[in-house]
Amino acid sequence: MKLIAIILLTIFIMLQTKLWSNDGGLKEVWRHSDELALQLEESQQRHARNTKLEAEVKDLNDGLAAIEERARSELGMIRKGETFIQVVERDNRALLHE
């Protein structure tokens, strides 16, 4: 019975040594966990940056359209090849006083 206990204790000690010190042991698992946490944080930062850049691109695209619309309506600007036609309504009050 003592021999079995000694053999089991020896095997247990060998397994514990392997678990705590060799490649693939707990040290490596902890190191990979730390690396994973850093990668997740970096990924979140990049995602936030990408979201911000997407918003800026959308604003620029919409902004150019808004600027073009304002230039067309307020300044009467046209593109090459377009013909500008302005419709002016009569002032009906002026006709009533004549």
Instruction: Say what the pTM is.
Output: 0.46
Average pLDDT rounded to a whole number, residues 68-91: 81
Q: What is the DSSP string of 51-97?
A: HHHHHHHHHHHHHHHHHHHHHHHHH----TT----------HHHHHT
Q: pLDDT digits over 11-44, tens only? A: 988 888 777 776 777 778 888 899 999 999 999 9
- Indicate the domain borders of the chain: 2-82
Q: Say whether pLDDT at 50 is over 70.
A: yes
